Structure 1
Amino acid sequence: MSPLLIGFIAFLFVFGAAAAGMFARSRLPDHHLSSDSREAIKLATAIIGTLSALALGLLIASAKRSFDEAGAELRTSAARVVLLDRTMAHYGPETATLRVALRKSLETRLNELRDEREGLLHEGLDVEPIQTGLRHLVPANDGQRWLQSRALQLSGQLSEMRWQRPETETGGFPGIFIIILVFWLALLFASFGLLAPGNATVVATLFVSALSVTAALVLIIDMDHPYLGFIRVSELPLRLALARLGQP
């Protein structure tokens, strides 16, 4: 389910709860909203508000960690691509076709990043054909053997990161956690509607507040998918790496 759809559903529940609270206020007998009743409602609301704040803080921390890890992964991949190209360049002219294949693979990866803006998840940089070519090289001396071993190590690390990406991107927050958080927010706004007078200013304030809270929830969920959402990791490291490939 997309973050926008989750946010829209959450907004309906949260603002709907506030409207239900205002409707209940106009129907309840006066003694249900006495000063003692209001104090009890406020105490319960404070507990729910604290729990909601803690849950939102936990979501923000988790989403920020996922976003930072994705950015670090992209920068590390770019650095390893450049190192792999330089290692093959030092090996000798035998790796010329492999270096061209590496460049084409990186160009394909950059095109896939554009596709991922549309929600199409790809597996990442494909270096397995390059690994096969490296294994078929016949080193002529100890220096070339070391360079071959180093190139295989770098390509293996890139391949490992490629297959880890789909596993991490399909994660996300547990659905039950989001449902409980929306339920808490709905209870919180229902109490606001119950205690506040039903005039246009209060309705507008509750509307904007519900919209703001659910928009924050959308941004948090979106940030937890740094390759697919509106808030995405920058592809600049890969573009800089592409500009450095093929140099003598």
Structure 2
Amino acid sequence: MSTLAISVIVFVCVLGGALLGMYLTRLLPQHQLSGDAKDVIKVSMAMVATLAALVLGLMTASAKSSLDDKESKLRDIAAQIILLDRTMALYGAETREHRDLFKRLVAARVNQIWPEENAVGVAPEVIGSDTGIGLLQQKILALSPQNDAQRWFQSTALQISRDIAAAQWSTFQQVGSRIHWPFLVIVVFWLTVVFASFGLFAPQNPVTVSALCVAALAVAGAIYLILSMDQPYGGLIKISSAPARAALDQLGR
């Protein structure tokens, strides 16, 4: 389910809670909504609202941490990509084919992660999770170094390629959401109950309904931002492709 669809569902649930509270006001006997009853309900809902605010804050902090971690790993991978290309270049002219293959693999991966930017000149043979880097490692192993320097560059290139493969798998594991759905459902339930208490005591006029709509929209917007930061490869909040494309521009030089 998309982030936008989830946010719309949250908006409907929260606003529906407020409207349900307004509806219950007409059904409940007036003595059940006396001053003492209102005080108890308000104190109870204040506790639930505090819990919901605390959890939303923790979810926001977790999503922001996830976004920063993914951006940092992308910059590290970009640096390793440039370093691997430079290491193969220092090995000698024998690695020209290897560098061309590596550039096509990187271009394919960038185009796969950011397809809307439509990288030019991409002709990938392999776009598997690690098949491409594995093919490159086999070609590096097939090299026949003629001196100690070339042996060192071959060993270093293999080590860097292993680091890139490990980082690739780590990034793949982070594609799934880090937010547990039962956790989110409980928070939305709390917010719905809180808004139901708002509707229970709110005057039934257009101004009040409009205010509740704006508040429900704000809550849905917060959930949308949290989910967008948790999955920053598409949607409103996205990781920039600038580090990867800068690295791609340096390949083959």
**Partner AA of 1:76 in structure 2:** D
Q: Any residues of structure 2 matched to 1:119-130 within 5 Å, and which?
A: 123=129, 126-130=132-136
Q: Any residues of structure 2 matched to 1:41-60 within 5 Å, and which?
A: 41-60=41-60
Aligned to 1:101: 101
Q: Please give the secondary structure, in 1, of the residue aligned with 2:237.
A: coil
- In 1, are the aligned partners of 2:84 and 2:161 still within 8 Å (CA)? yes
User: Is 1:209 aligned with 2:192?
Assistant: no
Aligned to 1:149: 155
Q: Deviations over 1:20-72 (max 9, x none)?
A: 00111122222222211111111011110111011101111111111111101
User: Is 1:177 aligned with 2:192?
Assistant: no
Residue among 172, 185, 188 paired with 1:166:
172
Any stretches of 5+ residues in structure 2 without a counterpart?
A: 118-126
Task: Report the CA distance between 1:122 and its aligned residue.
Answer: 7.5
CA distance 1:170–1:122, change in 2 (3 Å): farther
**How many aligned positions are there?**
244
**Partner AA of 2:83 in structure 1:** L
Paired with 1:229 and 1:156, the residues of 2 have a C-alpha distance of 31
Q: Please give the secondary structure, in 1, of the residue aligned with 2:132.
A: coil
Paired with 1:222 and 1:204, the residues of 2 have a C-alpha distance of 26
**Partner AA of 1:36 in structure 2:** D
Task: Report the CA distance between 1:77 and its aligned residue.
Answer: 0.8
Paired with 1:208 and 1:145, the residues of 2 have a C-alpha distance of 66
CA distance 1:122–1:5, change in 2 (3 Å): farther
Which deviates more, 166-175 or 176-185? Answer: 166-175
Task: Report the CA distance between 1:123 and its aligned residue.
Answer: 3.7
Any stretches of 5+ residues in structure 1 without a counterpart?
A: none
Task: Report the CA distance between 1:116 and its aligned residue.
Answer: 7.8
CA distance 1:196–1:114, change in 2 (3 Å): same
- In 1, are the aligned partners of 2:10 and 2:188 still within 8 Å (CA)? yes
User: Is 1:200 aligned with 2:206?
Assistant: yes
- In 1, are the aligned partners of 2:114 and 2:241 still within 8 Å (CA)? no
- In 2, are the aligned partners of 1:109 and 1:125 still within 8 Å (CA)? no
- In 2, are the aligned partners of 1:116 and 1:228 still within 8 Å (CA)? no
